[in-house]
Structure 1
Amino acid sequence: MSLSKRIKELEDDQLEEFVDIWAERKSKDYVKVERLGQANDKGRDVVGFVTSARHEGEWDLFQCKRKTLGSLLGLGEAMTELGKVFFHHVDGAYTTLPRRYVFVTPRGVEQSLKHLLEHPTKLQEALLANWDKYCRKKITAKKVIELTPEIRATIEAYEFKNVDCLTAPSIAKDAAARPALVQVLKELPGEAPEGHAPDDISDTEFAYLQQLRDVYSAAAGAPFSSFDEILADHRYGEGIKVHRTRFYEACAFRDFHRDNTDEKAVDVFKKDIYHLLFEVYNEAHPSLLDRVNAVMKHTGAHPAAILGRMARSPVKQGTCHHLVTDGKIRWSP
């Protein structure tokens, strides 16, 4: 089933959860994404706060509208939702109006609404002209909401070019949709890219490489003064290259799944690797290098997965070096 079709078939709660996750991944500018979407939400399903000022600063509003099969978001329903925002703003529910107002409607919008969204000034005029029809008795069941001079002035001052809609095809093209689908519908993520070690050693590698230098120094019976000296050694140079590749394989795997699935799943995977190597790591070994080799052999040969997708051997082995970096295990005494 295509990604677009999966998005179309999300249930109401799933759609709001999806947009919550999607919005959080969509923009790193948000200091917080909050899912409201319940009775008395004052016209807000999911909001993204741009600053810690929250509703006193800039914020974006995502209004979720899941329609049944063959049904599109219509003009009347959209007008009612827009009217809610202006009324609740004037009524004091939030100090500022949303920087962006986005209808998230996977199945699309009716042609009349689509036309107005493409012509912001006409959308503004239509809301004012049809207030009695779509808003007066529909914003709240508790009372009639008249188009007061203050509400009118607020609508007239708002930039309706900031009102937009997102349908399933447009969302599906966004890379941020994938982690949301993985978490909401448990869809398997794609394959993580391979990792490649740069020519220069970075600060992130120092912890495990420093310990490997001690390991190789013990094996050689004499200390290596630098990593370049180990790389030049015919016995251990290739080993250092392989270990660096494994470390970056694990980095690429970690970053891919943090961006495309769930950060918690990455932490669980690392814990799984720790439990996988625990007994072998703690066995008696003839030397420090024998222990490193035994852990690498054992970890690489045994299965470990993240969200149902098996990890490749160098990823599992490289994660051992990440555990060293975290201080969970040590290669040297």
Structure 2
Amino acid sequence: MIEMTTSTQDVLISDMPIPSVGPQPTHTGPPVPPAQRIFFYSSGDWEEFIKEWALGLHESYTQVKRLGGSGDQGIDVAGFKSDAGLEGPWDCFQGKHYAGPIAPSDAWPEILKMFVHVDAGDYVLPDSYRFLAPQGCGTSLNRLLSKPTKLRVKFLEAIADGTSLTSGMDAALLSRVRKLAEESDFSMFKSVELHEALAVHQTTAYYVARFGGAHLPAPSAFSEPPKELGDHEVNYVSELRKVYAESCSDDLTDAATFGSHPRFGDHFKRQRYSFYAAESLRMDARDAVPEGTFERLQDDVHDGVIETSSAEHGSGMKRLTAVLEHSTLVDLTSHPLVSWAGPQARKGICHQLANDERLTWTPGEQS
């Protein structure tokens, strides 16, 4: 028997947090495939996975929220299609982290709970109600989900008078629930197989952090830097100016002329190319991995070159050259973006660090 109540309870919901990278992912991925790894999840981990998966559905959701836990009113994850939340169009995602497939007897209490809370005014009927489980839905439930009319008939049989599912329920409430079920379109109830969920999840920025970096898409093609210097290039170009000024008496106040300088022109062009290679990587990473992943790559490069940068070199050019060369040797095999971080991008990251005033090429200003 499950206990039902007609009282409206406050729904405890948590806003979608910034994607959490969690434990440091590796480029080689976990020692077991994702499907097997999911088998060992806790119920909470499974709900987090469902939340991440829902964000990859490309539905017109204004917000995706995890509502699972005490007082969840039968909703593990909700996808809202308007600012009205549970009072407007929405999708319900019900996660069942069971050792085996979901059977009809597992689905009936959840469907009943939904109708009870709709009757109580806690939320409106969802546009779709999807079951997700590591082992999927069993044959019996999958067949019923494929025949909405028969699914309704079997559900009404499950909540008939005298059944264990409705034992102790208020008769008036049960009557209203039956009427609501009879009038509802049961095609809202669907199943999501694990391979389908993983295929969608793989397109999100959460996949690499959860399962490793082996499935990163190819980075976008990188084109030549723009002719005009951008406002975001001021600091690292200023650092290069100091390097050039150490051994050059020419007027270097106009950075726009650096590319045509007879002595440093080619060098400057190479540095800009590297900087924009790193900027391109930054933009690709924004959509492919969780927030903060690229910044951790910058931190790893910084940690790898700071001792070289801090050493005595005799000139800014020697320091710059040593740091850029060493950046291509830094061990980044534990980072999910290692396959994207080629020599040009690594050198460009050094210029990004100079842009952020974390590296300097002239003596006496090391960070």
Match of 1:15 in 2: 46
Letter in 2 for 1:49: F
Following superposition, the deviation at residue 6 of structure 1 comes to 4.0
**Following the alignment from structure 1 to structure 2, what is the Cα–Cα distance between the partners of residues 200 and 11?**
48
Match of 2:88 in 1: 57
**Following the alignment from structure 1 to structure 2, what is the Cα–Cα distance between the partners of residues 222 and 164?**
71
Runs ≥4 residues deviating over 6 A? none
Query: Which residues of structure 2 form unaligned runs of 5+?
Result: 1-31
1:70-97 Cα shifts (integer Å, max 9, x gaps): x321122112212211211221333x23
Match of 2:345 in 1: 315
**Following the alignment from structure 1 to structure 2, what is the Cα–Cα distance between the partners of residues 268 and 25?**
24
1:194-251 Cα shifts (integer Å, max 9, x gaps): 5643235285864466437735763653438575x55455754544454344334434
- For the Cα contact (< 8 Å) 1:104–1:165, is it kept in 2? yes
Following superposition, the deviation at residue 182 of structure 1 comes to 4.5
TM-score by length of 1: 0.76
Greater shift, 238-247 or 58-67, is seen at 238-247
- For the Cα contact (< 8 Å) 1:42–1:84, is it kept in 2? yes
**Following the alignment from structure 2 to structure 1, what is the Cα–Cα distance between the partners of residues 291 and 46?**
20
Match of 2:291 in 1: 263
For residue 214 of structure 1, the aligned residue among 218, 241, 245 is 241
Alpha-carbon distance change, 301 to 99 in structure 1, aligned in 2, over 3 angstroms: same
For residues 181-192 of structure 1, the aligned pairs below 5 Å read: 182-184=208-210, 187-190=212-215
Query: Which residues of structure 1 form unaligned runs of 5+?
Result: none
For residue 165 of structure 1, the aligned residue among 191, 195, 218 is 191
Match of 1:85 in 2: 114
Following superposition, the deviation at residue 103 of structure 1 comes to 0.6
- For the Cα contact (< 8 Å) 1:73–1:109, is it kept in 2? yes
Match of 2:98 in 1: 67
- For the Cα contact (< 8 Å) 1:216–1:236, is it kept in 2? no
Greater shift, 12-21 or 216-225, is seen at 216-225
Greater helix proportion: 1
Alpha-carbon distance change, 145 to 240 in structure 1, aligned in 2, over 3 angstroms: farther
Greater shift, 246-255 or 314-323, is seen at 246-255
- For the Cα contact (< 8 Å) 1:276–1:299, is it kept in 2? yes
**Following the alignment from structure 1 to structure 2, what is the Cα–Cα distance between the partners of residues 244 and 254?**
15
Following superposition, the deviation at residue 309 of structure 1 comes to 7.0
What do you get for the CA RMSD once the two structures are aligned?
A: 3.9
Q: SS in structure 2 opposite 1:303?
A: coil
